[in-house]
Copies of this chain bind each other. A is one copy, B any other.
Amino acid sequence: MSYLDRIAECNTFDLRRYLPFDVADQRVGLVRKDFAALLGRYPRVFQVTGEHVRLAPQLSDFATRSAAVEPILRELAGQGHILGWREEPLAVTESFSAAPLMQIERAAANHFGVRTFGVHMNGFVRREDGLYMWTPRRSRNKPTYPGRLDNMVAGGQPIGKGLLENLIKECAEEANIPAAIARRAQPVGLISYCAEVPEGLQPDVEFCFDLELPEDFVPRNTDGEVEEFQLLPIARVAELVRDTQEFKPNCALVIIHFLLRHGLLPPEHPEYVELAQRLASPTLPGVPGELTSALV
């Protein structure tokens, strides 16, 4: 097992099973062909050919598009084709900073292979003998990755909320970190990947934050999503990432990013160059270079 294995695990898929998903002539996602066939039942909203899935062009603005798509997704959810509806709308965009073309329920995002965004924060403590990282174990009741290790705080990015604003909210819910402390979290870059999941494709960008915590701070989960917090020496965290699959896959990438930035992996490490080059892999489906390189 190796650090690179963790990156590979987040980037395994076969794009030949997918069709591009276009909205307003912009390629915003990739739909697996079996789900595309379901969308083909709604030809006034989804134009499905052997080449692509296209949102009907007469749906010409954010509100009309979102309103036309939502009842169809609810119907598909009612038929069991979309599971775990959350009432959590996500922005569908060609890039993170672009105005959203439409919104879509989070539970359906991977069916359309649209890019998802989130925030992940490493909370650490500096002691005389080195860095320690607060490492939560996910609740056994979580629908995804129950019982796996996680970054201290993480959450998906809902539409219309600032990144830091979202992070501060998650800090309170997941670890009882007061806003005054959470606000000190420093943006430090991102990790990105494109993973195949049961629903389809998950091209994901996670904005990474570091928060150095006072030695006497003890996190406490308030939303039931965390089973326990451990404060682990960074060398132990690194081992768990490298040698096990204990961490939720994308959290392992956030930790590798941390290790590189903090000089905790020596540049002579045989995987160093490739790790640095692959941690922020292009994810936007539909940019030709990205599709091509992902296929090779």
Contacts and interface: CB of A to CB of B under 8 A. Distances in A.
Contacts of A205: 273
A192 interface: yes
A213 to B, nearest CB: 16
B296 A292 contact: yes
A142 interface: no
- Of the candidates A96, A162, A262, A273, the one having the most CB atoms from chain B within 10 angstroms of its own CB is A273
B263 A186 contact: yes
B207 A267 contact: yes
Contact of A270 (B97, B207, B288, B289): B97
Contacts of A290: 293
Secondary structure at chain A's binding surface: helix, strand, loop or mixed? mixed
Contact of A280 (B95, B96, B269, B280): B280
A101 to B, nearest CB: 16
Given A267-B163, A273-B95, A189 B289 contact: no
A125 to B, nearest CB: 18
Contact of A282 (B162, B266, B277, B292): B277
Contacts of A270: 95, 97
Interface of A: 95-97, 162-163, 186-190, 192, 205, 207, 260-263, 265-270, 272-274, 276-277, 279-283, 288-290, 292-293, 296
3 closest pairs, A vs B, by CB?
A293-B293, A289-B296, A186-B263
Given A97-B270, A190-B273, 12 more contacts: A95-B270, A95-B273, A97-B269, A162-B268, A186-B262, A187-B266, A189-B260, A192-B273, A277-B280, A289-B293, A290-B293, A292-B292
